[in-house]
Structure 1
């Protein structure tokens, strides 16, 4: 996938994340791992690899939220190692990095 296509996909995933938050499917805590990366779709100077990691992390977070919302076993969602947050990470500032509503 080309970088511009990856950025477009990243933008669409951020829109889905915003929708999930508005509908209560996701919480700010669900997106901590993605926000910690500090690579949004508008980070046009970020390298393709950074966008790929951000897209994979956000996709995994959204998949876990969707599975939980549907009552499925969230442990079966692949890629959850991307969501690991260090135990000393402060989640109180996650609101500032959330996708716009």
Structure 2
């Protein structure tokens, strides 16, 4: 909170998360994850990048639950699939199989 307003928004959340993770402050990371879960307008692709980087399990579950089509899966894949976190890639693979 800064001047009665949350300092976390879509333009600051990644930097705050980075600092919170770097200094091992779970409360800061949790507040950022809450923002991402409830208010963020970031793309699912960007959210999954942050899930992988900061181990945001609740956000991962939400992102995965919102993927319902092959097009949704394609939308979250990076241009180089090798850059995707292996655990997330495995979950996307399972989801793609369940859609067929």
Who wins on radius of gyration, i.e. which is larger? 2
TM above 0.5: no
TM-score by length of 2: 0.32
TM-score by length of 1: 0.32
Higher relative contact order (CA 8 A, sep 6+): 1
